[in-house]
Amino acid sequence: MSGLASQLPVAIVGTGSYVPDKVLTNSDLEIMVETSDEWITTRTGIKERRIAAEDEFTSHMAVKASRQALEQAEIDASEIQLIIVATITPNTLTPATACYVQQDLGAHKAVAFDISAACSGFLYALKLAKRLISDGAFENALILGAEKLSAFVNWEDRSTCVLFGDGAGAALLKRAEKGEGEILATDIGTDGGQTHLLNIPGGGSACPITIENADRRLATLAMIGKDVFKHAVTRMRDSANSVIERSGLQPADIKLLIPHQANLRIIEAITKRIDIPEERVFVNLHKYGNTSAAACAIALDEAHRAGRFGPGDHIVLVAFGAGLTWAAAAVRW
């Protein structure tokens, strides 16, 4: 599914991010499971990740990231019309995490709901919000990727627990004024034939957690990593190329590629295939691991605040996750 900016142009006018204070290093994990800093570093590039406090929920992290984005956009919470939270680790199955965010922010006029598209969720939210604004339904939207994955990780499974971390990122979208940037093209896709590759099998209606199955760790992430890896490379390459082409750009025009932060080897593989030099690719996974829907959002904010791109520059975001899902966006800042 794809679409060029055909109606009112939409700009990203503020970004924000938040990660919890607690750092869990690869050396800490060596004490918890049979693994090594060397294995984790060479296979993934991850050195450490952040872990939320017990009483720090997905919505709390989302609110902290939101406040930064609103401050940068110079928009008061009371003016927000739409809040979309992308998450696979909601505070509660219902109501949506976006409802808690609306309340805590004081964004009482906003329509608020969640979407579930795993690591691609932030870019799904971007596409959806962009379309709703460009159609004239809303004037602005606060979109978030926020995850407390530490609550859904089996800390005895070395093949998954070394990969994930917690955090949140936010972006404020609004109708672009003359001279402001513009989201040029977006792409999203799904392959429901691969649901078995990456999922949280328990805790939903298919497998409620009961006293009988509670000790089987069913409500934690399960993944066939090798297969996910192969799909990730081809889907992200195709999705990124699609938005570059539909924006009328060449890879040489891209100031910064911001890929999903799951594995450095995946990032290197897609970078080569899209033909963008290493120095124009943003990587922060060594600090945070894979924060699923939050990853692209945090990376966008960090890259923005670090001055890795500025007004007039073209950037491309691309992500991939459970579903399987994939998504990309090309933006003129």
Is 99 one of the annotated active-site residues of the chain?
no
Question: Which residue of the set 199, 263, 290, 304 is catalytic?
Answer: 290
Which one-letter amino acid corresponds to residue 282? F
**CA angle centred on 122, ends 120 and 126, rounded to 5°:** 115
Q: Sheet of 182-190: strands edge to edge?
A: 2-4, 182-190, 325-332, 314-321, 254-259
Number of chain residues interacting with ligand ACO (CB under 6 A): 24
Is 119 one of the annotated active-site residues of the chain?
yes
Q: Indicate the residue among 104 and 157 with the shorter CB distance to ligand ACO.
A: 157
Is 304 one of the annotated active-site residues of the chain?
no
- Least spacing, CB of residue 13 vs ligand ACO, in Å: 28
Q: Does residue 142 contact residue 73 with C-beta atoms inside 8 Å?
A: no
Which one-letter amino acid corresponds to residue 2? S
Q: Where are the beta strands (DSSP E) in the chain?
A: 2-4, 10-18, 22-25, 48-51, 82-86, 111-115, 140-148, 166-175, 182-190, 198-199, 222-223, 254-259, 314-321, 325-332
Q: Indicate the residue among 176 and 219 with the shorter CB distance to ligand ACO.
A: 219
- Least spacing, CB of residue 9 vs ligand ACO, in Å: 31
Structure tokens at 98: 């976006």
- Least spacing, CB of residue 308 vs ligand ACO, in Å: 23
C-alpha 11: how far from its chain's center? 18
What whole-number distance in Å separates Cα of residue 278 and Cα of residue 295? Answer: 19
Is residue 125 a contact residue for ligand ACO (CB under 6 A)? no
| Peptide bond connecting 93 to the previous residue in cis, omega within 30 degrees of 0 | no
Question: Which residue of the set 26, 60, 99, 119 is catalytic?
Answer: 119
Instruction: Select the residue interacting with ligand ACO from 102, 140, 186, 290 (CB under 6 A).
Output: 290
Is residue 225 a contact residue for ligand ACO (CB under 6 A)? yes
Q: Indicate the residue among 43 and 280 with the shorter CB distance to ligand ACO.
A: 43
Q: Indicate the residue among 12 and 143 with the shorter CB distance to ligand ACO.
A: 143
The stretch among 100-108, 180-188, 221-229, 270-278 that binds ligand ACO (CB under 6 A) is 221-229
Instruction: Select the residue interacting with ligand ACO from 110, 119, 176, 296 (CB under 6 A).
Output: 119
Instruction: Select the residue interacting with ligand ACO from 2, 35, 81, 190 (CB under 6 A).
Output: 35
- Least spacing, CB of residue 138 vs ligand ACO, in Å: 28
Instruction: Select the residue interacting with ligand ACO from 11, 228, 317, 328 (CB under 6 A).
Output: 228
**β-pairing, 48-51 with 22-25?**
antiparallel
Structure tokens at 272: 């080569």
Is residue 158 a contact residue for ligand ACO (CB under 6 A)? yes
> What is the number of helices (H) and of strands (E) in the chain?
10, 14
What whole-number distance in Å separates Cα of residue 73 and Cα of residue 173? Answer: 9
Binding site for ligand ACO (CB under 6 A): 35, 39-40, 43-44, 118-119, 158-159, 162, 198, 225-226, 228-229, 232, 262-263, 266, 290, 292, 320-322
Enzyme catalytic residues: 119, 260, 290
